[in-house]
Amino acid sequence: MKYVILAKYGEMALKGLNRFRFENQLVKTIRERIGTGFGIRHMQSTIYIEPRNENADIDFAFEKVKTIFGIASICKAVVCEKNFDDVCAKSLEYFADILPYKTTFKVFAKRADKRFPMTSPEIGRELGHVLLEKFPNLSVNCDSPQYEVHVDIRDTNAYIYGEKLNGAGGLPVGTGGKALLLLSGGIDSPVAGFLTAKRGVEISALYFETPPYTSERAKLKVEQLVEKLENYCGKIEFFAENITRVSEDLKNKCPSELFTVLLRRQMMKIANEYAEKLGCMAIITGESLGQVASQTLEAINCTNAVAKFPVLRPLIGFDKREIIAISEKIGTFEISSQPYEDCCTVFTPKHPSLRPNIAECEKAELLLAEL
Ligand code: ATP
Ligand code: MG
């Protein structure tokens, strides 16, 4: 049997004139991720992904397409000739391993090509009969069937499929501009990057390293996170910036209880420069309100005061448990849980200020200029 992947797009179909840009971006992304072994075309809110020959691995492509933002649902369908006999024959073959183990079902027929000689209700009824005869264990349940059999009569062919899986949702990456993710080796920032990319934003990532206080292993961990995120976000430009000297200066010259917030301000200033250079329109962090001392509203205000771009904090209202659930789903949790320290654990004061204010930060920073 010949298979095709049907990927249906979700909310992007609603975007009026933008729709064409979104569709083109989506097709381009799919092509980049699955290679040249497949033909890709789109029609009526569905992208058809067809193997060009027997060497093209459709299951591999299916797994890849499942992670592409902008796709609402995805299924592997059987390609039929556009006549009812072929639809019946292929249905019997395709569902032979599935329907004997089901109790109730319903046929959902859709006829995009109105020249097809049977109406949708007729197709549903007739195919239902054929399946009932073959699988006596089944009965029809129109309200809440245990299993759905779908038949789509489209332009050149008919397609049959069973369960549809949810796609990754969101909007195609690249349709929403670019932003700079401040990516540490922790659990939160990769999830923040994932959620922003899900809204169509292309991601560049910046990691602040503090050698020799942080090891090469810590950086490798962040590089692994980037690689994992790329499964969803597409290519991520990655930068590492050494902040050892600035961290030592802060530790030696400034009040220790302000260390964390002052370091965050330094990071933000460096991030401004990167964002400007890279053409990013926003900076993303993994901050979540109240999670740690540096994430009180007062501290966030102090960091925000030096930001030249909007700072996106997609996790601001999330509990740790919710963040972990996403990181497990996208495969970053295991990497983030590796023990290699990030810069702050080495320098972090025992009693960080919970209520810093901008004036005291600015005053402390004057000390940095002194010899
Ligand atoms: P994460 O789990 O993302 O590390 P966290 O709970 O450890 O977050 P903080 O250490 O307060 O929180 O960091 C807040 C945010 O600042 C991080 O989510 C990240 O966006 C950014 N950040 C912190 N440390 C670094 C770093 N070494 N390099 C790049 N960004 C960093
Ligand atoms: Mg951290």
pLDDT per position as a tens digit, 232-254: 999 999 999 999 999 999 999 99
Q: Rounded to the nearest 5°, which phi and psi values hold at 3?
A: -110, 160
Choosing from 180, 181, 182 the residue with most ligand 1 atoms within 8 A of its CB, the one to mutate for a pocket test is 182
Q: Which alpha helices (DSSP H) does the chain contain, by range?
A: 19-34, 58-65, 84-94, 120-134, 188-198, 216-233, 244-253, 259-278, 297-304, 320-330, 333-336, 343-347, 358-369
CA of 73 to the centre of ligand 1 (A): 33
Q: 143: which 2 tokens?
A: 């309200």
In ligand 1, the atom with minimum distance to the C-alpha of 342 is: 27
- Retrieve residue 134's tokens: 């073959």
The pLDDT of residue 149 is 97
Residue 187 CA: distances (Å) to CA of 67, 193, 340: 20, 11, 12
Band of pLDDT at residue 371, cut at 50, 70 and 90:
low
Distance 287 CA to ligand 1 centre (A): 7
Q: Which domains does the chain have, with CATH numbers?
A: 3-166 (3.30.2130.30), 178-365 (3.40.50.620)
Would you say residue 49 has pLDDT above 60?
Answer: yes
Mean pLDDT score across all residues of the chain: 93
| pLDDT at 344 exceeding the cut of 60 | no
Q: Is 11 helix (H, G, I), strand (E, B) or coil?
A: helix
Output the pLDDT for position 232: 96
Please classify residue 152 by burial: count the beta carbons closer than 10 Å to its beta carbon, then call 0-12 exposed, 13-18 middle and 19+ buried. Answer: buried
The answer to whether 123 and 85 have CB atoms below 8 angstroms apart is: no
This prediction has a pTM of: 0.91
228: Cβ–Cβ under 8 A, 6 or more apart, which residues? 190, 330, 331, 332, 335
How much is the pLDDT for 15? Answer: 64
Reply yes or no: is the peptide bond before residue 339 cis, omega within 30 of 0. Answer: no
Position 343 pLDDT exceeds 70 = no
Q: How confident is the model at residue 294 (pLDDT cuts 50, 70, 90)?
A: confident
Q: Is 80 helix (H, G, I), strand (E, B) or coil?
A: strand
How would you class 79 by CB atoms within 10 Å of its CB: exposed for 0-12, middle for 13-18, buried for 19 or more? middle
Does the beta carbon of 207 sit less than 6 angstroms from any atom of ligand 1?
A: yes
Does residue 293 register a pLDDT over 80? no
User: What average pLDDT score do residues 147-162 get?
Assistant: 94
Q: Are strands 237-242 and 46-51 parallel, antiparallel or unpaired?
A: unpaired
Ligand 2 centroid–CA 268 distance in Å is 15
Closest ligand, as measured to the CA of 214: 1
Q: Are 48 and 90 in contact (CB under 8 A)?
A: no
* Choice among 17-26, 57-66, 69-78, 167-176 with the minimum mean pLDDT: 17-26
Cβ proximity of 330 and 191 under 8 Å:
yes
Q: Of 59-68, 85-94, 180-189, 336-345, which gets the smallest average pLDDT? A: 336-345
**What is the model's pLDDT at position 18?**
78
Higher pLDDT, 345 or 306: 306
Report the residue among 180, 181, 182, 184 best suited for mutation to probe ligand 1: largest number of ligand atoms under 8 A from its CB: 184
Q: pLDDT-derived band of residue 113, with 50, 70 and 90 as boundaries? A: confident
Contacts of 369 (CB under 8 A, 6+ apart): none
Q: Is 332 helix (H, G, I), strand (E, B) or coil?
A: coil
Tell me the pLDDT tens digit for each residue of 177-222: 999 999 999 999 999 999 999 999 999 999 999 999 999 999 999 9
Instruction: Tell me which long-range contacts 120-129 makes (C-beta under 8 A, separation of at least 24).
Output: 123/84, 123/87, 123/151, 123/153, 124/151, 126/84, 127/84, 127/87, 127/88, 127/91, 127/151
24 CB under 6 A from ligand 1? no
Question: What's phi and psi for 40, nearest 5 deg?
Answer: -130, 125
Contact (Cβ atoms closer than 8 angstroms) between residue 112 and residue 82 = no
Residue with tokens 């239902």: 128
